[in-house]
Amino acid sequence: MKFLLFKLPLACAFIAALLYLALGLALSHGKTLGPRHAPFPYPRFDFVRGTLQDYETYSRTYLRAGRLNAKDKATLDNLAPFLLEPDPGCPRASSGKWPRGVVLTHGLIDSPYSMRPLGEALRGHCLLVYGLLLPAHGSRPGALRDSSWREWAEAEHWAAQRVGEQVERVVLGGHSAGATLAVLEAERNPQVQALVLFAPAFGINDSARYAKFLAPLSLAFPAAAWFEVKPDSARYRYESFPFRAAAETWALIQATWQQTRAAPRNLPTFTVLSRPDNTVDADAALAFMAANTNAASHTLLYSQHPENEGAVAARVQVLPSADLTGGLLGISHLGLMTPPNHPEYGRDGAYRNCGHYPPPSAEYRDCKAGGRSFYGEATPENLVQGLIERSAFNPYYDAMLSELLAFFDRLD
């Protein structure tokens, strides 16, 4: 009996080692890492004492050090955080401050470049606009292996404070995980007056909750640390994605739900969603908005099948997103805040999102070459219709922007 008891831990350890080996090999299969996937130990910024100008200087230094290509000034300008003052002629408050300012926060794996057109439009509406670059973004995907949601939330809090020093009232806006960060900060910051959310990440695939347990695998199997390894052909966003980033996004969502349930502020909130959405759970965002009873709140839901939406909550406007004559099956998660004439992400832009096809397959190659059958979300329903390019723009941007500006007018 003693001999068997001695053998049992050894057997368990042997089985665990076999499982570790099998899982490491499985998660590494087909993934070839390059220098851009190596951890990038970037220096941390002092979010306690640093100014907007300090962060501008820090970010440009960090971007030059971290990027392996496309270090030209124009690219770095688009990646860096930006501050846009209101157009000349916009009035100031009696205090000498601008009446209102907005912080715009990009999504996970993205950069401030994705929020810039929206920022320009809001600047024209007499808002002070700050486009935040989240830590570990804009350089190389490997930087995300050493970054946490608490660091992103610290940056969001810092940006809200610094903008708040120059304005009477602060609005926080964001896309995907950037929208979640905006909500979390708004619940903690009484100076925040309203929220603008594009496809907020209030729910993602449940498997993300287990991603943190995969970290030990990367010690022996570096490729196993990565959920996706893509060519990273985009200049302004990552296409490779580590499990660590998924785990941190999951943790951010849980912290945000906990905070909103503990002390909901019920702020005026403008939300733009798409269905289907392969990245976040649109139903979770609709549930968040259903609980928001502020009379100024409003939701635009672009639906590929509006006839299937059924009854929706008050202040939710369902809009059809398909336009088959224009080659559009629907709108994806990526570009709800992006105009169709955007030089990078627009209908005829330089970037094409084709990561749903495995490189270097013929489908991936043809999609990258512009041989799409339709724009849309990369769902099983759509993929059987032909070659799908995931739409990174909103073809109804002008109408959406009009609704957003009307929302701001209602805040006055």
Kindly report each contact of residues 61-65 with a partner whose C-beta sits within 8 Å and lies 24 or more positions away, as own/partner: 62/138, 62/139, 63/138, 63/139, 65/139
Q: Which whole-number Å values give the CA distances from 157 to 80, 146, 166, 188, 337, in the listed order?
A: 18, 20, 15, 9, 22
What is the predicted pLDDT for the residue at 314? 82
pLDDT for res 206:
74
The total of other beta-carbon atoms located within 10 Å of residue 180's CB is 32
- Residue 363 tokens, joined: 């489908």
Average model confidence (pLDDT) for the chain?
Answer: 91
Q: In Å, what is the CA distance from 49 to each residue of 52, 54, 124, 181, 189?
A: 10, 9, 30, 21, 18
Of 95-99, 144-148, 164-168, 263-267, the range with the lowest mean pLDDT is 263-267
In the prediction, which pLDDT does 24 show?
A: 64
Q: Which of 18-22, 32-36, 167-171, 206-210 has the lowest average pLDDT?
A: 18-22
* 10: confidence class by pLDDT, cuts 50, 70, 90: low
Whether pLDDT at 4 is above 70: no
Structure tokens at 385: 């219709």
**Amino acid identity for residue 150 in this structure:** R
**46 φ, ψ (degrees, to nearest 5):** -85, 90
pLDDT value at residue 389: 97
Q: What is the pLDDT of residue 150?
A: 97
Model pLDDT, residue 317: 95
Q: What mean pLDDT comes out for the span 207-229?
A: 80
Q: What is the pLDDT of residues 377-402, one digit of tens each?
A: 999 999 999 999 999 999 999 999 99
- 349 falls in which pLDDT band (50, 70, 90)? very high
Determine what percent of the chain is predicted with pLDDT higher than 90: 76
Confidence of residue 359 (pLDDT cuts 50, 70, 90): confident
Residue type, 275: R
Question: pLDDT tens digit string along 138-153?
Answer: 999 999 999 999 999 9
Strand partners, 273: 301
User: Mean per-residue pLDDT for 91-97?
Assistant: 91
Q: How does pLDDT run across 318-347, given as a tens digit for each residue?
A: 999 999 999 999 999 999 999 999 999 999
- pLDDT value of residue 16: 56
pLDDT (average), residues 299-310: 94
What was the pLDDT predicted at 11?
59
Higher pLDDT, 115 or 311: 115
Q: Which helix or strand (DSSP H or E) is residue 181 part of?
A: helix 177-188
Give the pLDDT band (50/70/90) at residue 207.
Answer: confident
Q: How far is CA 228 from CA 68, 282, 354, in A?
A: 19, 23, 13
d(CA 73, CA 153): 28
**Which domains are present in the chain?**
32-267 (3.40.50.1820)
The confidence score (pLDDT) of residue 25 equals: 65
DSSP per position, 130-146: EEE--TT-SS-GGGGGG
Measured CA to CA, the distance from residue 17 to residue 41 in angstroms comes to 30
Name the residue among 204, 152, 141, 171 with its Cα closest to residue 333.
204
- pLDDT range class, residue 163, cuts 50, 70, 90: very high
Please state, for a pLDDT cut of 70, what percent of the chain lies above it. 94
CA angle 384, 205, 42 (to 5 degrees): 110
CA distances from 391 to 64, 119, 252, 300, 326 (A): 30, 21, 26, 18, 12
Average pLDDT estimate for 37-60: 93
Mean pLDDT confidence for 228-253: 92
The pLDDT assigned to 222 comes to: 82
